[in-house]
Chain A
């Protein structure tokens, strides 16, 4: 058998490919991005970066109803964007299988919250599968397609960062191709007019009852009997942490947490003396166990926040073996914008301006940190423009500070356009800065509607952001090159002073895509007076030692922004 090391994301892609999946759609988002990136390398699956998660889910649903196995993938907060089609998809069902992957991020490694998307299954009445490692990520993906077809319902596959981004050994199998089932009109099933939807709801409840019976007997919900004193109920990666800490305990390992296998849980409870639920973030399993009237230990001793690990479980549930503590007082190393990042130029131009800046989701959110400190808010994808609009309506003339929204190019396509239309329609004076670095930067350089390339590497139309903003009714649309600090500063300051609706497009490709642009700069020690002006650029290639600036030659990409701002011409 062919064994490979795959991340959970890669394993989901492999599982989809082996299952004969034909259409897959996603919007990039950590920790889910690599699913579609990997799947796109299997040439016999159509893969796309949709403009957002709602679109991705609707695309996959359309394909599934039109008769081919389909997959949509997103990070946990992406499922909020896709929640509307999610709930409807449970009503209408599928024809060929549909697997919806949600990659949750306990520990907030790269997210704005740590919501627990198992609750979406409960709320939208969808089956939820929770793999614990890459082998299961592949198996559950394949099983997801089967359950989806057997019960005429989309299946939610819930990963967490530790499953998505851990590489473990996977047995590879071959693809089993499936003939497309074709599309046939089923008006009463797929048209959610109230009169039809009422019947679909009744039907959905029947499907949930059948799924409940399935959940009681599926081999992915299994009892592993060992010592009767302690019975642990768990799902996902928590299973492996718990096995590490309690090698002799009995386990009820849940691969399918919704519908909840209540009889199986009662059977397990009968066989052990004490039940402990070990699960990450919210008490999802625990709520179900408590609803059965069972006595259980869970979130009363284990944390609801952050990731679990064996150490946390050991400390909470065993006679605390003392473990070495981390050292304190080590200077933090927060993430920072890269050397030569074009965003540095736009943040530099905003320094010392009295403005209210609502930010958005992307690398440029790092502009909230010193030395820029150029951001008041970061809420969700697209919220920069709409938040600024609301603040403008609240403050009117009472606060003279201009309302500025900062949003990246990919985020603008994702959910910024509706915000722009709203500011024009409802007449606010929001100044929107679009930091257009010609890519989806933070997630590792994915294409989007402004790059002229698709996920599968095909040439396509490039959607012009400036034209789009003009078409939305913004009259003042200006494009600047953020490396041209003088011009950028002039445009930004002038626009701020006018306090009229405007869009400034700060356009320059991501420095990581470009690489070295010239010789590394160096500081002329004779000329440097140690004024620290260069440090306000926030470039990580610029340091300071012995009262003089120092350029870290191995980091510097030679963009020349620091040369332009040094008042003494000391950076050459």
Chain B
């Protein structure tokens, strides 16, 4: 399984990826997860590659071979769309966060309909998931990532009880309850996968 997770620095891409990687480990699989820290995380574009199988070599996913892309923001969904396999699924938050050069008027904003069209053209199987809005309704925008996880879980084969076990292991104790709620809310956001 090849999963690309992308978003904007601060959105919780790294924790999300940690959880997926630990799920795979707990399921007894070989797993590699790769991301970049440092300067890139200061509000920049953040991506993580997760691969799991009985044996994994490259920590990086090749273009056109991602089974799933999880995007926490729409521009980032388009930025990494070339990783998607022809049969792959894009799960994305329709949220938009404009890059600073757009905010301050140096670069023109990409119109919503154009962005939607370009995403649609390259991702026939796609599911918008309003994770950020749901997280805000739950009272904490920071749980956007676990809402997303709830939605993405529909496409993964891990047993349900494993999720809560891994969330409890990786999230700070005072936020566990909130994150479990967010996970439950996320799992309601998309229909079960077509068979």
Contacts and interface: CB of A to CB of B under 8 A. Distances in A.
Is chain B's binding surface mostly helix, strand, loop or mixed?
Answer: mixed
Nearest to A4: B25
B81 interface: yes
Contacts of A329: 110
Interface in A280-332: 309-311, 314, 323-327, 329-332
Interface in A333-389: 333-338, 363, 366, 370-371
A571 to B, nearest CB: 15
Contacts of B62: 244, 309-311, 314, 323
B75 A240 contact: no
Contacts of A3: 25
Contact of B34 (A162, A169, A331, A336): A162
A180 interface: no
Contacts of B99: 331-334
B159 to A, nearest CB: 19
Interface stretch (A56-64, A139-147, A536-544): A536-544
A335 B41 CA distance: 7
Contacts of B104: 370-371, 532, 535, 538, 544
B21 A167 contact: yes
A166 interface: yes
Contacts of B107: 331-332
Nearest to A550: B103
B43 A335 contact: yes
A444 interface: yes
Interface in B1-60: 8-9, 18, 21-22, 25, 30-45, 56-60
- The bracket for how many chain A residues form the interface is 35 or more
A241 B100 CA distance: 35
A295 B25 CA distance: 43
Contacts of A442: 38-39, 42
Name the residue among B31, B60, B98 with the largest chain A CB count within 10 angstroms. Answer: B60
Nearest to B24: A5
A543 B103 contact: yes
B103 A554 contact: no
Interface string A159-189: 0011001111100000000000000000000
B39 A335 contact: yes
A422 interface: no
B39 A110 contact: yes
Interface string A406-450: 000000000000000000000000000000000000111000000
Interface string A227-265: 000000000010011011000000000000000000000
Contacts of A19: none
Given A338-B42, A543-B103, A240 B59 contact: yes
A444 B41 CA distance: 10
A311 B66 CA distance: 13
Contacts of A30: 37-39
Given A326-B79, A442-B39, A535 B103 contact: yes
B37 A31 contact: yes
A335 B44 contact: yes
A535 B64 contact: no
B25 A5 contact: yes
A167 B22 CA distance: 10
A544 to B, nearest CB: 6
Interface string A15-38: 000000000000000110110000
Given A109-B36, A371-B104, A333 B45 contact: yes
Nearest to A7: B33
Contact of A444 (B37, B103, B105): B37
By size class, the interface of chain B is 35 or more
A241 B107 CA distance: 36
B37 A165 contact: yes
Contacts of A366: 39, 42
B138 to A, nearest CB: 13
Contact of A165 (B36, B43, B64, B109): B36
A392 interface: no
B59 A162 contact: yes
B112 interface: no
A312 B110 CA distance: 30
Contacts of B168: none
Contacts of A370: 101, 104, 106
Contacts of B141: 554
A104 interface: no
A114 interface: no
A538 B136 CA distance: 26
A237 B44 contact: no
B63 A311 contact: yes
B125 interface: no
A4 B30 CA distance: 11
A402 B33 CA distance: 48
Interface string A518-542: 0000000000000010010010101
A33 B42 CA distance: 16
B82 interface: yes
Nearest to A536: B104
B63 A324 contact: yes
Contact of A162 (B60, B108, B136): B60
Contact of B118 (A166, A327, A554): A327
B18 to A, nearest CB: 8
A161 B39 CA distance: 13
A5 B33 contact: yes
The 8 A-B residue pairs with the shortest CB-CB distance in the complex, in nearest-first order: A110-B38, A30-B38, A335-B44, A335-B42, A166-B34, A166-B59, A333-B99, A240-B57
Interface of A: 3-5, 30-31, 33-34, 109-110, 133, 161-162, 165-169, 237, 240-241, 243-244, 309-311, 314, 323-327, 329-338, 363, 366, 370-371, 442-444, 532, 535, 538, 540, 542-544, 554
13 contacts: A3-B25, A109-B36, A109-B40, A161-B36, A166-B34, A169-B30, A323-B64, A323-B82, A329-B110, A333-B76, A336-B42, A371-B104, A543-B103
Given A166-B59, A167-B18, A331-B101, 4 more contacts: A165-B35, A169-B30, A337-B42, A543-B98
